[in-house]
Structure formats: structure tokens, C-alpha cells
Amino acid sequence: MKKLTIPDIKARKGDESKIAMLTAYDYPWARMIDQAGIDIALVGDSLAMVVLGHTDTVSVTMEEMLHHTRAVVRGTERALVVADMPFGSYNSSIPGAVKNATRFLKEAGADAVKLEGGRNVADTVEAIVDGGIPVMGHIGLTPQTATSLGGFKVQGKSAEAARRLMDDALVLEDAGCFSLVLEAIPAPIAEKITASVTIPTIGIGAGVDCDGQVLVTHDMVGLFDGFTPKFVKQYTQMRESIIEAIGQYRHEVQNSTFPEQVHSFAMRPEEMEKLKDL
């Protein structure tokens, strides 16, 4: 499989075959996502909630994100690997942001990084891009700062707020982002943003007119039981199937029906006789 590159993704702007992106946090999931033909594997800071059990995304650390990014990189051959920069890794200083972004490429093998914010992070984005590191932007609902936004709510519902989002998109494009995630914004606004920028937009709760879509994989396959956002379509309920399988295993162990002979190893009779002599 040919490894996708940043130019490959940018070339999909306006393509009828839209960009498919999913989160991945470890080697097995990265392998499955890659083999299914997903274009971008996002090592999302949603790791904090759906894998590590935190109640928000801000708790995940740089070291944890690097650790999981390495695993995802080992599991992908075709997909572009984008790593979320965790809260605090790019907010304090521009030099610190460039240093942390560099670690994702140099130490973890990621192809690009993603960070949240609009014009407030434009200078940071520009500095990271100038350092040779591709950046994916993220506007609308930004989970790392959801508290200041009033919680996990749709953004850009008023004309003034929508105009700010449209301006943010243009500013981030000018700063050098190669693509933009649009999260939880009205579909008509996402359509306008998509038409106004020359880089691909990837929607999550932003309607069908974006150049691509992304979901948290654990939401999409029904593995996370915390809550299910309105914009998530669950394609299967793996959690229920897994719990059923584990319950069956427990039952068979307790009743000595597992393991069976087929799961066990034999010993030659003559060796058993020797053992008796010993």
C-alpha cells in the first residue's frame, strides 16, 4: 500500500471521494483502521477519556500521547498519522510548542500534529509549520477548552459567532494549516467555511458538505459507554458482544468446560513412564 502524504490529502480538496479519518490509540486498532482503507489515523487526545478513563481530554500528558502515537505508527502502512498536541503542550510558549511538535515527528514517527484554536494559535501554527512540521487545525467545539465555551455545545449558532469561525478558518489557512477539523458547528456554516478555504475540511458534527469526516472509533463501534454525542453513528455494538464473550468464558472456566483437549498439550506415554521412575 502506498503511504499517503500531506500533498495527497490536500489534493482531495473538493474530491467526490471524501477523506475518511478515525481515531486510533494502539497497534491493533491502527492495523484494522489501516487495512480498512482509512485515510488518516488520528491519535486523538480523546485517548484520555475512552482509553485512560479520565473525565476530560485535558488530563492526558505529552508522554502518554507520544507512547500511543508510537504504537499507532507501528500499526499503519498507508494512513497518514496525525497526533493531537495535548493541552498545555502548545499553550505556554511558541518555542515550547515547536519543541513538543517536533517530538511527535522525531520520537514518535507521526506525519503531522493537530492543535485546537483559531486566531489565538495562528502564530503558534505558523512557527510549527516554519519548523517543517505539518499542522492540522481544529475549530468550533474545542474539547480542551470546552469549559470556557460553556460545555460540549454547538458553536457558531449566532451570526456573529459564525463569522468568527469563518475568519478563524481563513487565518489558520494563512498560518499554514494543511487541513481543518470543524467540530459541532451548524452544517450551513461548515459548508461556507469549506467553500472559503483552499485546504480540506474534516467535519465531526458539521454536516455532509465538508471534504471529509472523522469520528472517535470507540464511539463509532460502541465501545465507549460514557456518552454518545448526537453526531455519532454507531455502526456496531462491540461492547455488548465483548461482554457476552467474556461472560461465556467465565462460565466455561467456572464449570471446567474450558479448556478442552483441543486447547491442551499432550505428552508421549513413554515420557510419562520415565517421569514415574524419576
Catalytic residue numbers read: 183
CA dist., res. 57 & res. 116, Å (int): 12
Tell which residue, 81, 86, 94, 192, has the closest CA to residue 143.
86
Residue 142 DSSP code: -
Q: 244 vs 39, 216, 229, 277, CA distance in Å?
A: 32, 23, 25, 46
Integer-rounded Cα Rg, in Å, for the chain is 23
CA dist., res. 152 & res. 266, Å (int): 58
Using alpha carbons only, what angle is made at residue 185 by residues 167 and 39, rounded to the nearest 5 degrees? 90
- Are 50 and 26 spatial neighbours (Cβ–Cβ below 8 Å)? no
